[in-house]
A and B are shown apart, each in its own frame.
Chain A
Amino acid sequence: MNRTSTAVLADAGGRGDVTESDASLRRFLHGLPGVDKVGADARAAALSTRSIKTTAKAYAIDLAISMIDLTTLEGADTPGKVRTLCAKAVHPDPTDPGVPATAAVCVYNDLVGLAKADLGSSGVKVAAVATAFPSGRASLAVKLTDTRDAVAAGADEIDMVIDRGAFLSGRYLQVLDEIAAIKAACGVAHLKVILETGELATYDNVRRASWLAMLAGADFIKTSTGKVSPAATLPVTLVMLEACRDWRDSTGATVGMKPAGGIRTTKDAMRYLVLVNETVGTDWLTPDLFRLGASSLLNDLLLQRHKLATGRYSGPDYVTVD
């Protein structure tokens, strides 16, 4: 039990520890206010009509680039591809040193060492997916080993997946304990907890899983692995950001948020930033607290950035494929 969750308990008026049993944890999570799906969808849709132009667009494009976890999570990944990705993360546009670096490069466990060596002291973090990503179907021992392995190889951030089977069958305590154990294994590395919202079925579950992850000590909560459809959506991100906001209201602690998967265009990215801006506010408009998990998004941002600067589109041949 960490200090922040103790504060939540005090706030919730709990006598004793909400995490002491499945029953008490269930009472707490199911006591959270419900989420009306129609209303949440409508709010996200309304915010997505914001018109971001000129100076606001320039600001948002650079901010979005600096928030990207540039990701490659394929069985076919090669050392060469990871090298290219690292170079691109540090200098997204080799012709324009004014373009900020991305926040991190996100790879599988076995490529962490390579990425770390390439990125060195550039400031770009190395994030590793761990805990039997993407399904999470392995024993806790295996997940812990996976995590320690990535940390030992130099990962600055660990993106873990929750056990959706345990969550959906109501074994909340098991999910909580597992996250807490992985958090302990992370040491100084930051922990992002992937809820895989595409498998959680309801926004009520998304809110509960968000609180569960924060209670267990998550530094970030993240929507998706990118391997399940639907991946990140605006309403799901809205619900999770509201959870981050309410968590800070209750505990004073800030937890970051990362939508991942399906974010491909500059327009998509603008919509996520508007959501952050008008839900949790300016405090979250930093890579320390908001990330975009994406691969092809960066190229579209670069094209739009170029268009904004020169007044014309340059086309896909002017950005690098990897």
Chain B
Amino acid sequence: MSPAPFEYAPAPESRAVVDIASSYGLFIDGEFVDGNGPAFKTVNPATEEVLADISEASAEDVDRAVAAARRAYTKVWSKTSGKDRAKYLFRIARLVQERSRELAVLETLDNGKPIKESRDVDIPLVAAYFFYYAGWADKLSHAGFGPDPKPLGVAAQVIPWNFPLLMLAWKIAPALAAGNTVVLKPAETTPLTALLFADICRQADLPPGVVNIVTGAGEAGRALVEHPDVDKIAFTGSTAVGKAIARSAAGTRKRLTLELGGKAANIVFDDAPIDQTVEGIVSGIFFNQGHVCCAGSRLLVQESVADEVVERLKRRLTTLRLGDPMDKNTDIGAINSAEQLARIRALTDVGDTEGAQRWTAPCDLPAHGFWFAPTVFTNVTQSHRIAREEIFGPVLSVLTFRTPDEAVAKANNTPYGLSAGVWTEKGSLILRMASELRAGVVWANTFNQFDPTSPFGGYKESGFGREGGRHGLAAYLDVA
């Protein structure tokens, strides 16, 4: 007789820890003000429940925000010592830690990612990035850019919906540490944690205008990056929008850093530590529902172990728990929006048409909300669209190779170059691959690890500029 299955009872995190207002304004010059555009709604992608009405910033609102940032830069922040800027950043970091549960719950409600990830990954990293850059604020003269490097001025920052608060931290922490003021636009589907962050700025007594948050969709973003009085544009998002921004900034004095899409190769050699490799493949592509620009979406596996790796991977995927993101045992949450779900479906349908073999993890999808089960495509070739285009969802394309040369050639054969992974027990092979792969980050025997001390950024159409580490300061200093 087979033993009874061990069914985990629901273990939901309480949503009572956070108060969500029925409507939110823009955060300009230290105050919440109504926007002049039509309000839009932000929904919980796991239930399609409306969470709040959000103000859409018009061009005039953006202008006011940039003017506030300019005023704060000229009158206050550029005259604030590094030591005092550090004081504010440390304060913010501590407040993020104190309010971490609230932030995690809000992030999960608005984004759809599992509470396990917002609680254990996103929010702790947010605090870590603020702590890290707080430490640099009074040491810029020792950062390797010469004595007393100067800030740029007003930074326009536009961030995506996949790691809403973490991307905010990657943008705001180095900008403020270097002495800039910012106007930040969160993605239209995930504005809530940025608005809670605005409250944290007030709680930290950050001078008004140093951080401004404007909400809205593409038009608000365009108004912000095309505003003539911004000195710096930092954008994380799709390559198509990144290219449009680069065109609009061409011929202006604006500095630009872009962190765009990716189609990372996760390369598995036959001597890889197989169980940990399978875990790395899973976290590489199924972490955050695959909504990760550096996701290991192309698995390149050495032919001699391909069948075994794929078989073990599928077995592991059957244990993934998809469902209510607020449940502490959920591994795979909701797709962030109907639009993104449609894009994932369209591209995977192309995978079928092109002749790749689809395998879907057996799991029940909830009746409401936006969901896509973990999916693996085998028999994928280099010419398939699912091997070339960024799907930005829980979909893995498996390709094989025979020699390290072939692995490098296939891995580099993409317009992107954000990240890559190498799995082998042979140290010399890791070093060789790291030097030959055209990717900004190469992980060895791990994947999707982030740390504030480590620079992150892309080659080719994955963008330019680095975020994180000492290198991340350069993007906000007048040192290029």
Is A318 positioned at the interface, with any CB of B under 8 Å from its CB?
no
Partner of A278, one of B11, B120, B319: B319
Determine whether the beta carbon of A56 is less than 8 Å from that of B6. Answer: yes
Determine whether the beta carbon of B280 is less than 8 Å from that of A34. Answer: no
Bound Cα distance from A35 to B272, whole angstroms: 9
Bound Cα distance from A39 to B280, whole angstroms: 8
Count A-B contacts at CB 8 Å: 79
Label chain A's interface by main secondary structure. Answer: helix
Bound Cα distance from A91 to B271, whole angstroms: 50
Bound Cα distance from A43 to B11, whole angstroms: 20
Bound Cα distance from A274 to B116, whole angstroms: 16
Is A52 positioned at the interface, with any CB of B under 8 Å from its CB?
yes
Is A185 positioned at the interface, with any CB of B under 8 Å from its CB?
no
Determine whether the beta carbon of A43 is less than 8 Å from that of B4. Answer: no
**Which A residues are in CB contact (< 8 Å) with B238?**
none
| Nearest chain B residue, comparing its CB with the CB of A43 | B279
Determine whether the beta carbon of B11 is less than 8 Å from that of A51. Answer: yes
Bound Cα distance from A39 to B425, whole angstroms: 13
Determine whether the beta carbon of B276 is less than 8 Å from that of A56. Answer: no
Chain A 39-55: CB-based contact to B (< 8 A → 1; otherwise 0): 11011000001111111
Determine whether the beta carbon of B274 is less than 8 Å from that of A33. Answer: yes
- Which residues in chain B, 1-34, are within 8 Å of chain A measured between CB atoms? 2-11
Known: A33-B274, A39-B445, A278-B319. A51 touches B6 (CB 8 A): no
Determine whether the beta carbon of B8 is less than 8 Å from that of A38. Answer: no
**Which A residues are in CB contact (< 8 Å) with B425?**
34
Is B446 positioned at the interface, with any CB of A under 8 Å from its CB?
yes
Bound Cα distance from A240 to B4, whole angstroms: 22
**Which B residues are in CB contact (< 8 Å) with A49?**
116, 120, 328
**Which B residues are in CB contact (< 8 Å) with A55?**
7, 9
Bound Cα distance from A32 to B84, whole angstroms: 56
Partner of B4, one of A39, A52, A285: A285
Bound Cα distance from A56 to B328, whole angstroms: 14
Determine whether the beta carbon of A54 is less than 8 Å from that of B273. Answer: no
Is A215 positioned at the interface, with any CB of B under 8 Å from its CB?
no
Partner of A39, one of B9, B10, B271, B446: B446
Partner of A283, one of B3, B276, B328, B329: B3
Determine whether the beta carbon of A51 is less than 8 Å from that of B329. Answer: yes
- Which residues in chain B, 321-360, are within 8 Å of chain A measured between CB atoms? 328-329
- Which residues in chain A, 225-264, are within 8 Å of chain B measured between CB atoms? 242
**Chain B interfacial residues counted at CB < 8 A:** 27
Known: A34-B273, A36-B445, A49-B120. A282 touches B2 (CB 8 A): yes
| Nearest chain B residue, comparing its CB with the CB of A289 | B3
CB distance from A77 to the nearest CB of B (A): 33
Determine whether the beta carbon of A43 is less than 8 Å from that of B9. Answer: no
Is A122 positioned at the interface, with any CB of B under 8 Å from its CB?
no
Is A273 positioned at the interface, with any CB of B under 8 Å from its CB?
yes
Partner of A34, one of B6, B10, B271: B271
Determine whether the beta carbon of A277 is less than 8 Å from that of B445. Answer: no
Is B275 positioned at the interface, with any CB of A under 8 Å from its CB?
yes
**Which A residues are in CB contact (< 8 Å) with B274?**
33
| Nearest chain B residue, comparing its CB with the CB of A32 | B274
Is A130 positioned at the interface, with any CB of B under 8 Å from its CB?
no
Is A286 positioned at the interface, with any CB of B under 8 Å from its CB?
yes
**Which A residues are in CB contact (< 8 Å) with B328?**
49-51
- Which residues in chain A, 264-317, are within 8 Å of chain B measured between CB atoms? 273-274, 277-278, 282-283, 285-286
Bound Cα distance from A258 to B196, whole angstroms: 48
**Which B residues are in CB contact (< 8 Å) with A34?**
271-273, 425
Is A60 positioned at the interface, with any CB of B under 8 Å from its CB?
yes
Known: A39-B446, A49-B116, A53-B11. A59 touches B4 (CB 8 A): yes
Is A57 positioned at the interface, with any CB of B under 8 Å from its CB?
yes
| Nearest chain A residue, comparing its CB with the CB of B316 | A278
- Which residues in chain B, 155-198, are within 8 Å of chain A measured between CB atoms? none
| Nearest chain B residue, comparing its CB with the CB of A285 | B3
**Which A residues are in CB contact (< 8 Å) with B10?**
53
Partner of A36, one of B3, B276, B329: B276
Known: A43-B279, A51-B329. A38 touches B446 (CB 8 A): yes
Bound Cα distance from A52 to B425, whole angstroms: 36
CB distance from B436 to the nearest CB of A (A): 22
Bound Cα distance from A283 to B280, whole angstroms: 26
| Nearest chain B residue, comparing its CB with the CB of A287 | B3
Known: A33-B275, A39-B446, A51-B11. A282 touches B116 (CB 8 A): no
**Contact residues of B with A, CB < 8 Å?**
2-11, 116, 120, 271-277, 279-280, 319, 328-329, 425, 445-446
Closest 7 CB pairs of A and B: A39-B276, A51-B11, A51-B328, A36-B273, A36-B276, A33-B274, A56-B9
**Contact residues of A with B, CB < 8 Å?**
33-36, 38-40, 42-43, 49-57, 59-60, 63, 242, 273-274, 277-278, 282-283, 285-286
Given contacts A33-B273, A39-B445, 11 further A-B contacts (CB under 8 A): A36-B273, A38-B446, A50-B329, A53-B9, A53-B11, A56-B8, A56-B9, A63-B6, A273-B6, A283-B3, A285-B4
Q: List 20 A-B contacts (CB under 8 A).
A: A33-B271, A34-B272, A34-B425, A35-B273, A36-B276, A36-B445, A39-B279, A42-B279, A43-B279, A49-B328, A51-B8, A54-B9, A55-B9, A56-B6, A59-B7, A60-B6, A273-B6, A282-B2, A285-B4, A285-B6
